[in-house]
């Protein structure tokens, strides 16, 4: 996904990329099924027996899609650049959010994520922003750690308070 | 009638104050999920499923199925007031519902939508009550070959009924099966496709896939649209409700057709979304006011809503009796059954009477309670949608992440959810159907084990799949469904015409 290019990406190109990805999954499945045995053992079908056929069918279907896409002459634009900007504006913060959960736990990460997202896309005042980004993780904390006793990922801050 | 005494017993179970409370909470959560974009029936249930691991299965299924009913109701609110379908099955409701709201008849449209949903669902529950025990009794005769044949039929019907290209349906389905086979093979104990990774040992959980595909994928799509919610104000008062109710009996034919289409599409795995479109199309063609459809006809609201609810409800019939869900949400509920330690299939009706009849009785109650709740609380839900998307979107992302984490207490799953989100976005944009993929992911292990058992019985010979009339008939039907796109394409060449406009607007659930 080359979002830097000003030329709009055609649906056909994405179609071909996705078909190729599916094809590589199919090859992987067939390869691994062959490795663990896709035939018939003394005690019945081997572990790779069923997945082998799944992989084969996936391969056939993806080649079919690939050919259809390549034979297409005209193709609409997959996504206009400004729309794609908006998609990235959610995707990148979400990816960063999930990465930060690893380090500072889900509660603090959620607070930062909510605050930054609201600030960037909503142009809210500080007061509203703080309210939401403190309340939501707070409710989650009560719900999971206190009432349902389901532990969620925590970081140094929670450790400080003995959780 | 044995069904009546069973049903009464079911009511005794569903009417405990505890289960009633779960029902109430479930419906409220369901409507909320149905109203919010990016949270739907399937991923809403998926997110809450981990919280029910420790609950008694009957209470758990009552709450989760009520979320489903609530989501079915909730979808209509956003369609009519905001012209934004909160759920795929309410897209057809926008065609006439929103014009009605613009003309100041929002209350009328909402009452018609809720009431016809209720009628459709009620009819479907009655069908389940009397048909399900028969199907289950019949299915007791099934062996592994028959079960595999029924599963084959399910998946072939997707190819036959889907509006997407057959190759894409097959590819999405096979991807689901491939992902389902990752991890420990339960029969031989071999590790499959883990490539030495300990994280992949667990395999791909369908709950993670559902949360990613439907939740994150939907958020990405909604952001792309750059939605600004501009809604019509709704006022519902008893006068409007009674006035609308007085009008409705006139359209009993439309409602009946919608219900029948819905039941049919729900039991065969068409799902609620195609059912609502089909019902709208049929009503448009057969109604005397057909040419006025799209300008705010009450019939245009009744038709898709009865069908969607009838389909959504009757999707539980094959799930309970055969272990084959008729819709993605039913698939998630089926996954729940497996997690609670219940084996779906015909034996459920013999061994788990309390569970089955408690659930069926709760469906009657939940639809009555649901109708009362949505009729009285519409303004609140409309108010929630006035909260800007820039607050709702990150909150939904946080909820999805928490939901993905709690499935296995694994952070890897949260990252996986994001990957599934991207897949969901790409697949939706390229018109790959998501429902068969999710169903394959849920049914993968079951389908594989019945296939293997059948193969063991026949010592590796495929002839077992046409060894007797029953299995041969099902397989033949499955193959017919598989080549249906070719056949219908062929037929269409002879009969030119049809409703090309509507066909283009049919999305796939």
Chain B nearest-CA distance from A6, in A, is: 17
Query: CA-nearest residue of chain A to B405?
Result: A152
B406–A50 C-beta distance less than 8 A: no
**Which B residues in the span 112-151 are in contact with A, Cβ-Cβ below 8 Å?**
none
B394–A114 C-beta distance less than 8 A: yes
Asked whether residue A13 falls in the same domain as residue A69, the answer is yes
Q: At residue B472, does pLDDT exceed 90?
A: no
The predicted structure's pLDDT at residue A100: 92
The predicted structure's pLDDT at residue A113: 92
Question: Is A147 inside any structural domain?
Answer: yes
3-state secondary structure of B178: helix
Asked whether residue A22 falls in the same domain as residue A35, the answer is yes
B184-189: long-range contacts, CB 8 A cutoff, minimum separation 24: B185/A47, B186/B445, B186/B449, B187/A44, B187/A47, B187/B449, B187/B452, B188/A46, B188/A47
Asked whether residue A92 falls in the same domain as residue A154, the answer is yes
The answer, for B426 touching chain A at a CB cutoff of 8 Å, is: yes
Q: How high does pLDDT run on average in chain B?
A: 82
Full domain range(s) for residue A115: 81-160
The answer, for B209 touching chain A at a CB cutoff of 8 Å, is: no
Asked whether residue A85 falls in the same domain as residue A156, the answer is yes
- Under the banding of pLDDT at 50, 70 and 90, the label for residue B221 is confident
CB–CB of B400/B417 below 8 Å? yes
CB–CB of B177/A54 below 8 Å? yes
Asked whether residue A86 falls in the same domain as residue A74, the answer is no
pLDDT tens for B66-80 read 998 898 888 888 888
**Per the structure block, which two tokens stand in for B262?**
């819905």
Query: CA-nearest residue of chain B to A99?
Result: B415
Q: Of A45, A79, A113, at which residue does a domain stop?
A: A79
Query: What are the CA-CA distances from residue B383 to residues B32, B232, B241, B314, B376 (Å)?
Result: 11, 11, 20, 32, 14
Instruction: Give me the residue from A64, A90, A136 closest to B219, CB to CB.
Output: A90
Asked whether residue A67 falls in the same domain as residue A87, the answer is no
pLDDT tens for A15-69 read 999 999 999 999 999 998 888 887 777 777 788 888 898 999 999 999 999 999 8
The predicted structure's pLDDT at residue B34: 83
A87–B223 C-beta distance less than 8 A: yes
CB–CB of B318/B89 below 8 Å? no
- Under the banding of pLDDT at 50, 70 and 90, the label for residue B271 is low
B406–A65 C-beta distance less than 8 A: no
Average of per-residue pLDDT across B482-506: 62
The neighbouring-strand residues paired with B184 are: B191
- Using an 8 Å CB-CB cutoff, list chain A residues near B427: 18
The predicted structure's pLDDT at residue B450: 84
| Residue B381, Ramachandran bin (φ over 0: left; ψ between -120 and 50: alpha; else beta) | alpha
Question: Is A2 inside any structural domain?
Answer: no
d(CA B228, CA B389): 7
Q: Of A20, A55, A79, at which residue does a domain stop?
A: A79
The predicted structure's pLDDT at residue B501: 42
pLDDT tens for B298-322 read 888 888 888 888 888 888 888 888 8
- Using an 8 Å CB-CB cutoff, list chain B residues near A102: 411
Phi (first) and psi of residue A37, to 5 degrees: 100, 115
**Per the structure block, which two tokens stand in for B457?**
């019985």
Question: Is A1 inside any structural domain?
Answer: no
The predicted structure's pLDDT at residue B507: 40
A150–B406 C-beta distance less than 8 A: yes
A148–B190 C-beta distance less than 8 A: no
pLDDT tens for B88-143 read 777 788 888 888 888 878 888 888 889 988 999 999 999 988 888 888 888 888 88
A61–B168 C-beta distance less than 8 A: yes
Asked whether residue A25 falls in the same domain as residue A42, the answer is yes
d(CA B252, CA B258): 10
On the 0-12 / 13-18 / 19+ scale of CB atoms within 10 A, B390 is middle
- Write out the H or E segment, with its range, that includes residue B184: strand B183-184
B51–A94 C-beta distance less than 8 A: no
A33–B178 C-beta distance less than 8 A: no
Structurally, chain A folds into a number of domains equal to 2
- Using an 8 Å CB-CB cutoff, list chain A residues near B391: 118, 122, 124, 132
User: A98, A115, A122: best mutation site toward chain B, by most B Cβ within 10 Å?
Assistant: A98
The answer, for A163 touching chain B at a CB cutoff of 8 Å, is: no
In this prediction, the answer to ipTM > 0.95 reads: no
pLDDT, greater one: B161 or B15: B15
Chain B nearest-CA distance from A119, in A, is: 9
The neighbouring-strand residues paired with A41 are: A44
B51–A91 C-beta distance less than 8 A: no
Asked whether residue A66 falls in the same domain as residue A97, the answer is no
d(CA B439, CA B445): 11
Asked whether residue A20 falls in the same domain as residue A74, the answer is yes
- Under the banding of pLDDT at 50, 70 and 90, the label for residue A110 is very high
d(CA B150, CA B140): 13
Count Cβ–Cβ pairs < 8 Å, chain A vs chain B: 165
Where do the DSSP E strands lie in chain A? 9-10, 40-41, 44-45, 77-79
The predicted structure's pLDDT at residue A62: 94
Q: At residue B222, does pLDDT exceed 90?
A: no
d(CA B294, CA B305): 15
If one counts every other C-beta atom within 10 angstroms of the C-beta of residue B155, the result is 25
B409–A90 C-beta distance less than 8 A: no
Q: Select from B342, B308, B393, B373 the least CA-distant residue to B113.
A: B308
Query: CA-nearest residue of chain A to B452?
Result: A45
Chain B nearest-CA distance from A117, in A, is: 7
Full DSSP string of B62-125: HHHHHHHHHHHHHHHHHHHHHS--SSGGGHHHHHHHHHHHHTT-HHHHHHHHHHHHHHHHHHHH
b/e code B106-126 from CB counts within 10 Å (16+ = b) = bbbbbbbbbbbbbbbbbbbbe
**Which A residues in the span 87-116 are in contact with B, Cβ-Cβ below 8 Å?**
87, 89-91, 93-95, 97-98, 101-102, 106, 110, 113-114
**Per the structure block, which two tokens stand in for B260?**
């029948």
The answer, for A69 touching chain B at a CB cutoff of 8 Å, is: no
Q: Of A31, A47, A79, at which residue does a domain stop?
A: A79
Asked whether residue A55 falls in the same domain as residue A13, the answer is yes
Q: How many CA atoms lie within 13 A of A124 on its CB side?
A: 21
d(CA B325, CA B155): 11
The predicted structure's pLDDT at residue A8: 67
Q: Select from B278, B221, B207, B225 the least CA-distant residue to B430.
A: B221
Q: At residue B82, does pLDDT exceed 80?
A: no
Identify the weakest region by mean pLDDT among A1-5, A142-146, B443-447, B457-461.
A1-5
This prediction has a pTM of 0.84
pLDDT, greater one: B275 or B412: B412
d(CA B345, CA B441): 18
The predicted structure's pLDDT at residue A122: 75
The answer, for A151 touching chain B at a CB cutoff of 8 Å, is: yes
**Per the structure block, which two tokens stand in for B236?**
């519902």
A62–B171 C-beta distance less than 8 A: yes
Residue in the block written with tokens 């070959």: B145
Asked whether residue A108 falls in the same domain as residue A73, the answer is no
The answer, for A35 touching chain B at a CB cutoff of 8 Å, is: no
Query: CA-nearest residue of chain B to A67?
Result: B167
Q: At residue B386, does pLDDT exceed 70?
A: yes
Instruction: Give me the residue from B193, B418, B452 closest to A50, CB to CB.
Output: B452
Q: At residue B505, does pLDDT exceed 50?
A: no
First to last CA, chain B: 38
The answer, for B95 touching chain A at a CB cutoff of 8 Å, is: no
- Under the banding of pLDDT at 50, 70 and 90, the label for residue B500 is very low
Instruction: Give me the residue from A32, A40, A60 closest to B193, CB to CB.
Output: A32
- Under the banding of pLDDT at 50, 70 and 90, the label for residue B36 is confident
d(CA A42, CA A44): 6
The predicted structure's pLDDT at residue B1: 65
The predicted structure's pLDDT at residue B509: 36
Instruction: Give me the residue from B191, B393, B448 closest to A50, CB to CB.
Output: B448
The predicted structure's pLDDT at residue B476: 87
Identify the weakest region by mean pLDDT among A16-20, B24-28, B334-338.
B334-338
């Amino acid at each position: 996904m080359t979002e830097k290019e000003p030329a709009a990406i055609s649906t056909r190109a994405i179609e071909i990329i996705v078909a190729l990805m599916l094809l590589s999954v199919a090859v992987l499945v067939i390869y691994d099924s062959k490795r663990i045995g896709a035939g018939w053992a003394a005690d019945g079908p081997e572990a790779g027996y069923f997945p082998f056929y799944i992989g084969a069918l996936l391969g056939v279907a993806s080649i079919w899609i690939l050919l259809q896409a390549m034979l297409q002459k005209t193709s609409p634009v997959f996504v206009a650049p400004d729309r794609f900007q908006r998609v990235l504006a959610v995707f990148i913060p979400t990816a960063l959010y999930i990465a930060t959960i690893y380090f500072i736990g889900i509660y603090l990460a959620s607070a930062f994520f909510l605050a930054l997202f609201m600030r960037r896309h909503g142009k809210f005042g500080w007061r509203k922003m703080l309210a939401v980004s403190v309340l939501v993780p707070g409710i989650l904390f009560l719900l999971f750690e206190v009432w349902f006793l389901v532990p969620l990922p925590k970081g140094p801050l929670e450790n400080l308070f003995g959780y | 009638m044995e069904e009546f005494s069973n049903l009464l017993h079911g009511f005794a179970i569903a009417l405990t104050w505890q289960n009633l409370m779960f029902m109430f909470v479930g419906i409220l959560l369901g409507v909320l999920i149905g109203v919010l974009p990016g949270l739907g029936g399937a991923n809403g249930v998926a997110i809450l499923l981990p919280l029910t691991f420790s609950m008694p299965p009957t209470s758990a299924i009552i709450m989760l199925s009520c979320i489903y009913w609530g989501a079915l109701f909730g979808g209509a609110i956003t369609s009519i007031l905001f012209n934004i379908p909160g759920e795929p099955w309410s897209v057809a409701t926008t065609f006439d519902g929103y014009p009605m709201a613009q003309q100041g008849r929002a209350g009328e449209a909402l009452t018609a939508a809720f009431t016809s949903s209720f009628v459709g669902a009620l009819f479907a529950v009655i069908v389940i009550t009397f048909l399900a025990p028969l199907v289950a009794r019949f299915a007791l005769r099934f062996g592994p070959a028959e079960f595999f044949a029924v599963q084959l039929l399910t998946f072939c019907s997707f190819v036959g009924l889907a509006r997407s290209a057959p190759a894409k349906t097959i590819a999405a389905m096979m991807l689901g099966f491939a992902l389902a086979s990752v991890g420990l093979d339960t029969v031989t104990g071999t590790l499959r496709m883990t490539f030495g990774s300990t994280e992949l040992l667990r395999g791909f959980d369908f709950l993670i896939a559902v949360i990613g595909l439907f939740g994150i994928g939907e958020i990405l799509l909604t952001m792309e649209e750059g939605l600004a919610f501009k809604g019509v104000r709704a006022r519902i008062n008893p006068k409007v409700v009674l006035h609308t109710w007085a009008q409705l009996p006139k359209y009993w034919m439309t409602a009946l057709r919608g219900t029948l289409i819905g039941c049919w599409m729900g039991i065969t795995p068409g799902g609620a979304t195609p059912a609502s479109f089909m019902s709208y199309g049929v009503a448009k063609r057969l109604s005397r006011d057909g040419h006025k459809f799209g300008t705010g006809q009450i019939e245009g609201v009744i038709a898709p809503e009865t069908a969607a609810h009838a389909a959504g409800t009757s999707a539980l019939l094959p799930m309970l009796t055969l272990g084959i869900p008729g819709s993605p949400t039913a698939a998630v509920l089926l996954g729940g059954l497996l997690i609670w330690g219940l084996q779906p299939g015909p034996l459920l009706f013999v061994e788990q009477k309390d569970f089955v009849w408690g659930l069926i009785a709760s469906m009657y109650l939940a639809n009555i309670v649901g109708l009362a709740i949505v009729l009285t609380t519409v303004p609140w839900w409309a108010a929630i949608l006035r909260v800007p998307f820039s607050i709702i979107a990150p909150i939904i992302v946080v909820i999805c992440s928490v939901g993905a984490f709690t499935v296995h207490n694994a952070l890897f799953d949260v990252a996986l959810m994001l990957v599934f989100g991207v897949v969901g976005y790409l697949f939706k944009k390229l018109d790959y159907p998501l429902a068969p993929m999710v169903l394959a992911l849920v049914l993968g292990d079951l389908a594989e084990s019945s296939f293997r058992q059948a193969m063991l019985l026949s010592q590796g010979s495929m002839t077992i799949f046409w060894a007797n009339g029953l299995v041969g008939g099902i397989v033949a039907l499955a193959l017919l469904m598989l080549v249906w796109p070719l056949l219908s394409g062929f037929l269409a060449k002879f009969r030119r015409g049809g409703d090309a406009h509507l066909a283009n607007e049919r999305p796939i659930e």
